[in-house]
Amino acid sequence: MRRRGVLHVDMDAFFVAVEQRERPELRGRRVIVGFPAERSVVLSASYEARAFGVSSAMPMAIALRRCPDAIVVEPRHHLYYEVSRQLMRLFADFTDLVEPLSVDEAFLDVSGAVRRLGAAPEQIAAQIKARIRSELGITASVGVASTKFVAKIASTRSKPDGLLVIRPEDTVPFLHSLPVGALWGIGGKTREVLGRLGIHTVGDLAQTPDSTLRRALGATGLQAKRLSWGIDERAVTPTREEKSIGAEETFAVDVSDDAALHAELLRLAHRVAGRLRGQGLAAGTVALKLRYTDFSTLARSHTLTVPTDGAQHLYSAGRQLLAALGPRPQAVRLLGLRGERLSRSAGAPRQLSLDRTEDNWRTAEEALDRVSERFGSGMVQPARLLGEPRPGLQRDGRTPRE
């Protein structure tokens, strides 16, 4: 591990933890981050709520049936991304080799830091955990190993607020004791296939002949066997960029009215544009997603002449895509908007225009970013959305049943 020490740092219930930091009265409570509409999904849940079977990506209606007294907090993505930026800067104090996987987790190769600081990888991991707690006011779980794959498993096994070290000589015994689903690429259906072959643990898979795995799973089976012996030669790669940034909304009541869809599209455009600007990115392509009552889904995209981080440009492109679909055969259950083909916005070309409204819109949106950063999202919004009830919601933003 002194030759190659890999850490996987994973924040504990990140969105909830940030909200509890901002609102100490939520600590120790059953908290769900997400929108209260029945058709929305759980974005994050406190461990107190998870004890009732609530999990991320679960439909909100199911989550509230399992934990009816949970406190539902609407997400503040701008705040989570700011804390994420602080987190990545903290990691950079220890090593340049940081590979973010999402806003709340990353791989770190601390091999150089081991030599520079004269500390073992687990000591560096403990220092990182302590700084996250003291400087950011939240907690993290850390896995330490000689490979990325084993480090990620270790962090998962140490949650919450834990630190698990898997030394090279302990790697194979540790892996072979785990259920086969712990391996990357082994999902529910693959577990069923392996179960019919009598393969239930990683150790079982490790002892299975290559020919059997190849017949059952193809190349995936052979890759899984390599992982079962702890073989993972992938390096920590610090130049990982986001491929797209988007937002979507599942309506509480299916929507067929054009005005309601356009209003929601505008809200989504502002959410996406704010996230783009927050990360210094611009979108070269705008994609629209539409899901109908029968769950059939359509996706359309449009490539822009010049990349943008402006809500008005995203909204305009989204409306064009929506109109191009023609008459809708059914009411709409879900609407989504996404910016793709991302590039750095600093120094990027901008669409030239003699119309001053272009600059006026950008100035207004940047002002909106500053207001949202200081006071929270939703404090200021486009005038055309004021007093406009969202589909299936009352004007105060609560579902009719509330």
Write out the binding residues for Mg(2+).
10, 104
pLDDT number for residue 4: 75
The answer to whether position 139 is within a domain reads no
Q: State whether 283 and 347 are in the same domain.
A: yes
CATH of the domain at 359: 3.30.1490.100
Statement: residue 286 has pLDDT above 90: yes
> Mind listing the pLDDT tens digit for each residue in 323-372?
998 888 899 999 999 999 888 765 444 444 444 444 455 666 666 666 55
**AA letter at 392:** G
Average pLDDT score over residue span 260-274: 93
The answer to whether position 26 is within a domain reads yes
pLDDT number for residue 77: 86
Closest CA to 244 of 281, 298, 290: 281
Active site residues: 105
d(CA 158, CA 164): 6
The answer to whether position 157 is within a domain reads no
Closest CA to 243 of 285, 278, 288, 273: 285
The answer to whether position 234 is within a domain reads no
> Mind listing the pLDDT tens digit for each residue in 232-248?
888 998 865 667 899 98
Looking at the structure of the chain, the number of domains it has is 3
pLDDT number for residue 36: 82
Q: State whether 260 and 220 are in the same domain.
A: no
Write out the binding residues.
10, 104
Q: State whether 307 and 354 are in the same domain.
A: yes
Question: Angle CA(207)–CA(213)–CA(217) in degrees, nearest 5?
Answer: 145
pLDDT number for residue 53: 96
The answer to whether position 250 is within a domain reads yes
Q: State whether 221 and 323 are in the same domain.
A: no
> Mind listing the pLDDT tens digit for each residue in 97-134?
999 988 899 999 998 877 777 789 999 999 999 999 99
The answer to whether position 266 is within a domain reads yes
Closest CA to 152 of 14, 44, 10: 10
CB-based contact 140:10 (threshold 8 Å):
yes
Average pLDDT score over residue span 206-233: 91
Could you say which of 165, 200, 228 is where a domain stops?
A: 228
> Mind listing the pLDDT tens digit for each residue in 133-162?
999 999 999 999 999 999 999 999 999 999
Sign of the Cα torsion 127, 131, 133, 138 reads: negative
The answer to whether position 2 is within a domain reads no
d(CA 33, CA 183): 29
Sign of the Cα torsion 347, 350, 356, 361 reads: negative
Q: State whether 287 and 355 are in the same domain.
A: yes
Q: State whether 212 and 254 are in the same domain.
A: no
The answer to whether position 208 is within a domain reads yes
Domain that holds residue 34: 14-77
Q: State whether 286 and 356 are in the same domain.
A: yes
> Mind listing the pLDDT tens digit for each residue in 23-82?
999 999 999 999 887 678 899 999 999 999 999 989 999 999 999 999 999 999 889 989
Q: State whether 218 and 328 are in the same domain.
A: no
Statement: residue 393 has pLDDT above 90: no
For residue 233, count other CB atoms closer than 10 A to its CB: 7
Q: State whether 254 and 297 are in the same domain.
A: yes
**AA letter at 84:** S
Q: State whether 218 and 251 are in the same domain.
A: no
d(CA 73, CA 69): 13
Question: Angle CA(111)–CA(117)–CA(122) in degrees, nearest 5?
Answer: 60
d(CA 333, CA 348): 36
pLDDT above 70 covers a percentage of the chain that reads 84
pLDDT above 90 covers a percentage of the chain that reads 62
> Mind listing the pLDDT tens digit for each residue in 247-256?
988 887 899 8
β-partners of residue 303 are 285
Q: State whether 221 and 265 are in the same domain.
A: no
CATH of the domain at 222: 1.10.150.20
Statement: residue 382 has pLDDT above 80: no
β-partners of residue 107 are 8, 99
Q: State whether 276 and 301 are in the same domain.
A: yes
